[in-house]
Structure 1
Amino acid sequence: MADHFAYPVGLRLSGRRVVVIGGGQVAQRRLPALIAAGADLLLISPSATPSVEAMADAGEVRWEKRRYEDGDLADAWYVLIATADKEANNAASAEAERNRTWCVRSDDAEAATAWTPATGRSEGVTVAVLTGRDPRRSAAVRDAVVEGLRDGTLTAPHHRTRTPGVALVGGGPGDPDLITVRGRRLLAEADVVIADRLGPRDLLDELPPHVEVIDAAKIPYGRYMAQEAINNALIEHAKAGKAVVRLKGGDPFVFGRGMEEAEALAAEGIPCTVVPGISSSISVPGAAGIPVTHRGVAHEFTVVSGHVAPGDDRSLVDWPALAKLRGTLVVLMGVDKIGAIAETLIAHGKSPDTPVALVQEGTTAAQRRVDATLATVAETAKAQDVRPPAVIVIGPVVNVGPGGPAGPGA
């Protein structure tokens, strides 16, 4: 038998009896997939790992705390033998053979009647790889295929009709490697991409030639406000039957006006998928060596928009309350208002010596960090020509780290 290829097949185990003998590490790895397949699972083992025990406690597996006995495999469709007891393994394997039940053995693949492939999943696609006696190669091939499907480098066009709609994709802080795998896959499947200037621009060069890329900043506004024009473009292309990706920087719902777009699409009956992204409010400070929280230094962090200055009637931020907080304050879109912000915080009790870091173009090749204090940040930002996009971090966490502050102009 060993000289012939294994015949690949997908088992539909939902509601069908599956017996697992042994509650160790092998069972711990295999049980989640069997649970996900909907199998009626019976575990036979005197003991189990804490993770396997938790599955039993949750009711996902029926656990009989004993050794294998002849007759345990009656009516089973599939058996996994995974114990260190060679005699018990042989006996169970013999019963499976008599019952014509497919049987996998973790201790002796040659004695088994079935092999477990290296499997992976990506958006409804199951990848299963068998390479005979080389499980590491199976896993490597599996990983390469699944990764390609997830990041869009391995394209697999849909041959059935797709439902037109819009995906609001958070592209992360700027580094193209920091977009989620789902976001990258949707980009690879898009017909139209409407992109912000703060999105991961490098990914646009990877799109196939037929994909229409629209710069959101250049949409003709006419008599409409900018956001309304973007909404209209999303609606227009989706109604034309195209798969549309709205590529945003950071996360769509963190100062990204994503909900406005989702509401506009819902009003038109257009399906909308929201793909969260890594927010620059946390990732950019981290990339600059600043933790927004740190034991003994900051037990909280607050993220605010600085696009409207303190004192402006349009502002929804309670700056006096923020000045009293002891944690970290992260300000987005506040470079041109940092002077007024600093003055307001100081006026309401924040120490002028509070450390401040401005991180420009965070996570990109152009990233730079400029350090100051609340008392000096306005002058420093101007002298160092700090420009948007920049994330401003205010609080003692700025001084946390092996090297402390990077220094002005660093």
Structure 2
Amino acid sequence: MSPLPLTVDLFGKRAVIVGGGRIAERRTKTLLETGVTLTIISPNVTDGIWELYEQALIDWQPKLFEEKDVSAAFIIIAATNDPKVNCAVCEAAGSQALVNVVDNPKLGNVHVPSHFKRGKLSISVSTSGASPLLAKSIKNDLAAKYDERYVAYLDFLYECRQLLQSSSLSQDKQHQILSTLLSEVYMKPEKQTQTLNWLRVEAEK
């Protein structure tokens, strides 16, 4: 069976990471971007995790894993260097929880792809665990192509779409304009300003 890529809104959800090493730190920083309430379960943590704890961005419980630690978690990541502990975390997870086991993704039901963001643009690459290095290489290639210019460009496209939807233009005309905006010329800030000014006039008609 093939996994289905999904974008999940984790804002306000409870997340638990069991483990305090480098991988746990990377997962911690990724999850914090989503607005979760995050708890780390580990006797020891990296300096990076400790700093986040000192800033009150996460909760850290310096202890060994217990089954009750994940009882109310929406998303759980098993990131210790002990396969037995990671397996125990997976077994303790509720049937409705999202679970990622870093050393054996097949045990869980969630894979964390290699990904990057450019504002509203999010691009993920997964090889379903076959080759994380290849996924990272492809991600880097895409990140070079879709550079920081796309942050402003996506904001521009979003505002254009909102203005068109509130205009009296036909659906066909709106689709035609949106397709035209995909041209490279609209990556230029001056062209974006000119287009937005025109669309604001159209939206007021």
TM-score (norm 2): 0.74
Give the 5 Å matches for 1:94-113. 94-96=91-93, 98-113=94-109
Distance (Å, rounded) in 1 between the aligned partners of 2:196 and 2:133: 47
Q: 2:56 aligns with which of 40, 55, 59?
A: 59
How far the C-alpha of 1:35 sits from its partner, in A, is: 0.8
Instruction: After superposition, give the CA deviation of every residue in 1:260-296 in whole Å (9 maximum; x if it has no partner).
Output: xxxxxxxxxxxxxxxxxxxxxxxxxxxxxxxxxxxxx
Q: 2:117 aligns with which of 106, 110, 121?
A: 121
2:160 and 2:196 in contact (8 A); partners too: no
DSSP-derived class of the 1:158 partner: helix
Q: 1:17 aligns with which of 14, 30, 41?
A: 14
How far the C-alpha of 1:115 sits from its partner, in A, is: 0.5
Q: 1:33 aligns with which of 30, 35, 48?
A: 30
Q: Which amino acid aligns with 1:149?
A: Y
Which has more helix, going by share of residues? 2
1:152 and 1:187 in contact (8 A); partners too: no
Q: Determine the structure 2 residue equivalent to 1:241.
A: 198
Change (3 A) 1:187 1:68: farther
DSSP-derived class of the 2:76 partner: strand
1:23 and 1:44 in contact (8 A); partners too: yes
Q: Which amino acid aligns with 1:130?
A: S
1:41 and 1:62 in contact (8 A); partners too: yes
Instruction: After superposition, give the CA deviation of every residue in 1:118-139 in whole Å (9 maximum; x if it has no partner).
Output: 1100122111111112111211
Q: Which amino acid aligns with 2:160?
A: T
Q: Which amino acid aligns with 1:129?
A: V
Give the 5 Å matches for 1:2-401. 4-96=1-93, 98-132=94-128, 133-150=130-147, 158=157, 161=160, 189-190=187-188, 192=190, 237=194, 240-241=197-198
Instruction: After superposition, give the CA deviation of every residue in 1:208-247 in whole Å (9 maximum; x if it has no partner).
Output: xxx9xxxxxxxxxxxxxxxxxxxxxx9xx578538xxxxx
Distance (Å, rounded) in 1 between the aligned partners of 2:16 and 2:42: 11
Extract unaligned runs of 5+ from structure 1: 165-185, 194-210, 212-233, 243-410
DSSP-derived class of the 2:124 partner: strand
Distance (Å, rounded) in 2 between the aligned partners of 1:159 and 1:11: 20
Q: Which amino acid aligns with 2:3?
A: A
DSSP-derived class of the 2:144 partner: helix
Extract unaligned runs of 5+ from structure 2: 164-183, 200-205
DSSP-derived class of the 2:157 partner: coil
Distance (Å, rounded) in 2 between the aligned partners of 1:11 and 1:66: 29
How far the C-alpha of 1:95 sits from its partner, in A, is: 1.2
Distance (Å, rounded) in 1 between the aligned partners of 2:196 and 2:5: 41
TM-score (norm 1): 0.39
Which has more strand, going by share of residues? 1
DSSP-derived class of the 1:23 partner: coil
Distance (Å, rounded) in 1 between the aligned partners of 2:105 and 2:21: 18
Larger-Rg structure? 1
DSSP-derived class of the 1:11 partner: coil
How far the C-alpha of 1:158 sits from its partner, in A, is: 2.9
Distance (Å, rounded) in 1 between the aligned partners of 2:136 and 2:196: 42
How far the C-alpha of 1:61 sits from its partner, in A, is: 0.7
Q: CA RMSD in A?
A: 3.0
Distance (Å, rounded) in 1 between the aligned partners of 2:77 and 2:117: 21
